[in-house]
Amino acid sequence: MTPPAPLFFLLLCLPSFTPALALAMPRRPLFRWPWRRASVPAAGYFPPGDAGGTMLTIAPGTGGLGEPLNVILAATSSPAVLIESQANGGFLNFFLSIDFAGECLGQHMGEPQQANLGDGRGFVNESAVLRYDYGDPALGTCQETVQGGNHFRFWRQSGSSANSSALFMATSYEKPIKEHHDIVVNGYNLGRDWLVGNITKSPINTTALTNTSTFSGTTSFGGYTYTTAIAYVSGLLANSSAGVNHAETVGVNGANPVDGLVAVLDVKITTAPANASISAGWRAAPPRTGMAALFLFGVLGVL
Ligand SMILES: *[C@@H]1O[C@H](CO)[C@@H](O)[C@H](O)[C@H]1NC(C)=O
Ligand SMILES: *[C@@H]1O[C@H](CO)[C@@H](O)[C@H](O)[C@H]1NC(C)=O
Ligand SMILES: *[C@@H]1O[C@H](CO)[C@@H](O)[C@H](O)[C@H]1NC(C)=O
Ligand SMILES: *[C@@H]1O[C@H](CO)[C@@H](O)[C@H](O)[C@H]1NC(C)=O
Ligand SMILES: *[C@@H]1O[C@H](CO)[C@@H](O)[C@H](O)[C@H]1NC(C)=O
Ligand SMILES: *[C@@H]1O[C@H](CO)[C@@H](O)[C@H](O)[C@H]1NC(C)=O
Ligand SMILES: *[C@@H]1O[C@H](CO)[C@@H](O)[C@H](O)[C@H]1NC(C)=O
């Protein structure tokens, strides 16, 4: 039996009508407790420079020089990805999906670098270092330590005055250990772009990048699939050599060693293994069209 025309029309409209209504609702609460801290900006991080921080690290023994924080894992990512864990699709698992792993046999070499992310904590030691694993998660980072290669140190923006949970990464491509792990020519920009290329699985042309460049890629590890949107942004990091460690040898033909672009990664878990814990903070995009069709069939079936 066909329902009366107006009812049928209303039923057809209902599934798409509901999300439209949700979008029309104000995004921010109308009332805000005065003592509530600022919410995380839409970009998924607080610019460190807004509150006394800086996008250059301090490397020990350099008289205050440092490396550019040239990649950000934004807080817009799936919540599980922001957790420093290999379980539940956490960011250690995400980085395994692009061939980055913890240090060789758990060893850490050298004094930590420090960064001030403008989150109220001042300069703090790096959390850890991940290295390119040459496709071997177990021992590949030992090869990186000896032969050199891509690596990054990271810090979490987690102080109480700017607690975004975003990760700020100082990425660079280093020379072999016998050359004291200096940075290769253009090694800050190239380290960033090879890491991004590992996500997109096609080379990024460093000299063609601008603050409007965007990319995307899909990678998997341990039963999790990640879809990453990458946007290069300017205005956080200076296009400059000022304060940059190894500036004279890293800049190509007199160019700045740091081009001023930061790759912002928005990493979403799009599939998780069937055994994944639902409470782990990941959620795939709701299957809206499927739900709408199911709803419609259900309603028509009843009538
Ligand atoms: C930073 O690391 C250095 C060297 O390992 C250590 O001496 C210092 O206590 C650390 N600082 C903090 C705040 O953990
Ligand atoms: C920062 O936010 C995280 C997650 O929302 C929370 O667990 C943590 O306690 C917060 N830290 C501070 C210092 O407010
Ligand atoms: C992936 O990373 C490796 C090591 O840094 C690099 O040699 C390679 O060019 C990268 N792949 C892409 C497509 O950028
Ligand atoms: C990279 O971009 C530059 C500048 O746009 C261009 O001249 C060069 O041919 C490009 N290289 C490749 C390999 O596409
Ligand atoms: C992009 O860079 C240009 C200069 O190259 C600058 O004028 C513009 O403001 C930048 N846009 C953003 C969104 O940062
Ligand atoms: C869940 O399944 C994935 C492969 O689909 C496997 O790698 C992982 O070890 C499993 N985890 C648990 C807790 O069984
Ligand atoms: C960085 O500055 C140089 C000039 O010093 C300019 O040629 C180059 O295009 C700039 N790079 C970016 C990515 O804006």
Closest alpha carbon to 226 in 82, 84, 110, 78: 78
Whole-model pTM: value is 0.83
61, 106, 178, 172: CA torsion to nearest 10: -60
Is there a domain that residue 301 lies in?
no
Is there a domain that residue 296 lies in?
no
Strands 214-221 and 224-233: antiparallel
Is there a domain that residue 23 lies in?
no
Is there a domain that residue 289 lies in?
no
Between 91 and 104, where is the model more confident?
A: 91
Structural domain of residue 65, as residue ranges?
38-284
Q: How far is the CA of 280 from the centre of ligand 6 (A)?
A: 14
Is there a domain that residue 21 lies in?
no
Is there a domain that residue 291 lies in?
no
Q: How far is the CA of 128 from the centre of ligand 1 (A)?
A: 13
Is there a domain that residue 276 lies in?
yes
Q: Which of 31-40, 95-104, 106-115, 243-252 has the lowest mean pLDDT?
A: 31-40
**β-strand partners of 131:** 101, 151
pLDDT greater than 90 at residue 16: no
Domains contained in the chain, number: 1
Write the CB contacts of 79 (distance below 8 Å, at least 6 apart in sequence): 281, 282
Ligand nearest to the CA of residue 37, numbered in listed order: 2
From residue 16, how far is each of 25, 28, 187, 294 by CA, in Å?
A: 15, 23, 49, 13
Residue 142 has a pLDDT of 83
Ligand nearest to the CA of residue 109, numbered in listed order: 1
Is there a domain that residue 163 lies in?
yes
For residue 187, the surrounding DSSP H or E stretch is helix 187-200
Q: How far is the CA of 126 from the centre of ligand 5 (A)?
A: 30
Atom 10 of ligand 1 has which residue's CA nearest to it?
125
Q: How far is the CA of 261 from the centre of ligand 2 (A)?
A: 28
